[in-house]
Amino acid sequence: MMQLILSDKLMTQICHHVAADYPREACGLLIGLRDGGDEGQVTGVVPSPNMAADPHVSFEIDPALILKYHKQLRDKDDIILGHYHSHPEGLARPSDRDRQQNYDPAMVWVIVQVSKGHIGGVKAFLAPETQADFDVVPIVLF
């Protein structure tokens, strides 16, 4: 089973972004290392503007930002591990819309619950190709 390793500092950056963008969904990239599939270590987070038509109920990471980081990381050990986004007044679990947007089973999804601007739960997920639903990925903070 995969686990996601994340520093307190990076978790704080994600939570600050989510709180600042409330009541809109916040989103961004998770940059990091993956060792054979059992462990992902986040080494950086990259906030993105939410490009969705209605950012109060959905998210879309800026495609130019994704392309920029794919190019920037091309000859490096770090990769785009996945992304984070928030669920304002929702739960820290994949929504039906999230399931529809899942295009890469290798991507880790970190979902942050936020209510009235305050952070609730934070959970990570993977959606393997062979399953209709997401698997919970434990987050290990250090």
pLDDT for position 130: 62
Q: Which residue has the higher pLDDT, 82 or 131?
A: 82
Residue 68, pLDDT above cutoff 70: yes
Least confidently predicted of 20-24, 33-37, 107-111, 137-141: 33-37
- Mean pLDDT, residues 65-92 taken together: 96
> Position of tokens 């929504």?
95
**What is the pLDDT confidence band of residue 35, given thresholds at 50, 70 and 90?**
confident
pLDDT-above-90 percentage for the chain: 78
Going across the sheet that includes 3-6, the strands are 135-137, 118-126, 108-115, 79-88, 27-34, 39-48, 3-6, 139-141
What domains are there in the chain, each with its CATH number? 3-141 (3.40.140.10)
Angle, alpha carbons 53-124-81 (nearest 5°): 75
